Structure 1
Amino acid sequence: MDTKKVWFVTGASKGLGLSLIKRLLKEGYKVAATSRTIESLEKEIGASASFLPLEVNITDEKSVSTAIAKTIETFGGIDVVVNNAGYGQLGTLEELSDREARENFETNVFGLLNVMRNVMPHLRERKSGHIINLSSIAGFLGAFPGWGIYNATKFAVAGLTEAFSAEAASLGIKATIVYPGYFKTNFLLQGSLRLAEHPIADYIEARNLEEIHDTQIIGNQPGDPEKAALAFIQLAENEQPPLHFFMGSDSFGMAGNKIQLLQNALNENEALSKSTDFEK
């Protein structure tokens, strides 16, 4: 009897998604993988009875529902969903147009919701499953000038996943938020990262951080995508997977610093915080 889980992975033609599906197939799992073009997946993976490449626009609910139905028809079910599709949008809050901001939310948040909404009837019926949503360390620590809209999308992913975890607990469905740090993928390259169409020179901090990413961080990311793939599998095979998982030593360290800042703020303002209650 085949007890290997069936995985449904979005944004799988490059980056962490591609590393993950390659490892999954090597380990004998069945994998449905989505991308904007099937050609990009077929070029990277080739043909296999365990592999179902799917051309999907995650912002189109019909496209998503069709892909999920085809996966269930092909493999008999879905056990693990990895919402990995998304892109980075750089630009300060003033610089980015309404269209640029909304497009980033449309993909990073509402595209992810399309997948969750359409896979849930199947998972509810089975009373099992695990949804792994990719946030970012920028979805926990927002102090990156010029990353505000992207940060906001990833904070939103974390928030909705926390709520989902509470909603789905009695249904036997698990959820994990993954907060990756910097991994040596093409995320910081053109195609996965968009710059503001109309930059404003006054924003020195944002321009400096863009330059640092371009000249110092690209090529020197500490995270290994192959090890990340193994971590995803370990999360999915865990009987009690964590709700929050900070992936990479840089993410782990930055999260610890943020937690300490929050604890300090609580301690320093305890009296003022509690002064707003009604008198007992």
Structure 2
Amino acid sequence: MNNNKVWFITGAGRGMGVSIAKAALAAGYRVVATGRDTEKVVRAVGASPNLLVVPLDITKSADAALAVTATMERFGGIDVLVNNAANFYAGYFEELTPAQMEQQLSTSLIGPMNVTRAVLPIMRKQRSGQIITISSTAGLTGFEFGTAYAASKFGLEGWMQSLQAEVEPFGINTITVNPGFFRTELLTEESTHFAAPSIDDYNERRTQQLQFWKGYNGQQSGDPAKLAQALITLSNEAMPPRRFIAGADAIDTAEQVVKTLEQQLNAYRDLSTSLGIDKV
């Protein structure tokens, strides 16, 4: 384990980001903890000589550039980037406004791209680095009331898989993390935003969905501190995984996705394989 590593963590003012920052500091790493509200980050993570707190709104590429510059001035490099910051716009697609959809994508997809774009030149120059991106089981399968969130996470998945092939020759690797339900602050009023009711046809199901999502906050089974420690462990493996399915519920979801995909593939295998151009 190289205790001189520099971990750059987004969304470190609350939720999973706090747990990751604390775990990295406990492991002896130097940590750059970022967030829109730096005072909140300091209160959440605590003081440490190995800690640098910098302001960062991931939706602003200029913020990302400034945060990376501050990191280089203090620590001289970035070894691990953790794309953690995210939000959650829930609601039926027809009731979500275009602005809400854009806000979801801006934070959960374009935001990580902004930060990664700022960090990659450093890692390329080093010829080493690791990008850990927190996705979701919503990046494996869509769900009712989750069109905006799943769209951002599916985009995140495709981007990370493609990026891996581009940066691997430079000694940079990626890990995509698919957590299930962890007891973070994602479902709090600060992070979750609901579409305004506007279509009567959805009334009954909307009521049920709102009851579930608002009632599930604080009831999640996953421990964010344990996930943070798992990321430290995975990061230090000689060959880190390209994907980590995090949590028993996430494994159940992933296994169902695999099973469904296999069923769909086999159901029309003959029709699919018949679509080639006939040989003359």
For normalisation by structure 1, the TM-score amounts to: 0.95
Task: Describe the shift of the 1:253–1:118 C-alpha distance in structure 2 as closer, same or farther (beyond 3 A).
Answer: same
The one-letter amino acid paired with 1:62 is: A
Task: Name the structure 2 match of 1:221.
Answer: 220
Assess if the C-alpha contact under 8 Å between 1:91 and 1:199 holds in 2.
Answer: no
Q: How does 1:101-140 map to 2 (within 5 A)?
A: 101-140=101-140
Does structure 1 residue 38 correspond to structure 2 residue 49? no
Does structure 1 residue 23 correspond to structure 2 residue 23? yes
Assess if the C-alpha contact under 8 Å between 2:131 and 2:174 holds in 1.
Answer: yes
Task: Describe the shift of the 1:170–1:263 C-alpha distance in structure 2 as closer, same or farther (beyond 3 A).
Answer: same
CA offsets, 1:238-266, max 9 Å, x none?
A: 12111111111101110100110000111
Q: How does 1:124-203 map to 2 (within 5 A)?
A: 124-142=124-142, 144-203=143-202
CA offsets, 1:74-94, max 9 Å, x none?
A: 112100000001101101111
Matched position secondary structure for 1:99: helix
Assess if the C-alpha contact under 8 Å between 1:8 and 1:82 holds in 2.
Answer: yes
Using the TM superposition, give the Cα deviation of residue 3 of structure 1 relative to its aligned residue in structure 2, in angstroms: 4.1
Using the TM superposition, give the Cα deviation of residue 214 of structure 1 relative to its aligned residue in structure 2, in angstroms: 2.3
Q: Unaligned stretches of 5+ in structure 1?
A: none
Task: Name the structure 2 match of 1:92.
Answer: 92
Q: Distance in 2 between matches of 1:230 and 1:173?
A: 21
State the superposition RMSD in angstroms.
1.5
CA offsets, 1:197-225, max 9 Å, x none?
A: 3443422434423312223x323211011
Task: Name the structure 1 match of 2:261.
Answer: 262
Q: Distance in 1 between matches of 2:122 and 2:210?
A: 42
The one-letter amino acid paired with 2:144 is: P
CA offsets, 1:11-36, max 9 Å, x none?
A: 01111111111121122111001111
For normalisation by structure 2, the TM-score amounts to: 0.95
Using the TM superposition, give the Cα deviation of residue 4 of structure 1 relative to its aligned residue in structure 2, in angstroms: 2.9
Q: Unaligned stretches of 5+ in structure 2?
A: none
Assess if the C-alpha contact under 8 Å between 2:3 and 2:27 holds in 1.
Answer: no
The one-letter amino acid paired with 1:169 is: E
CA offsets, 1:68-114, max 9 Å, x none?
A: 11111111210000000110110111101111101111111111100
CA offsets, 1:43-71, max 9 Å, x none?
A: 12333220011111111111110101111
Matched position secondary structure for 2:244: strand
Q: Distance in 2 between matches of 1:258 and 1:192?
A: 27
Q: Distance in 2 between matches of 1:205 and 1:153?
A: 23
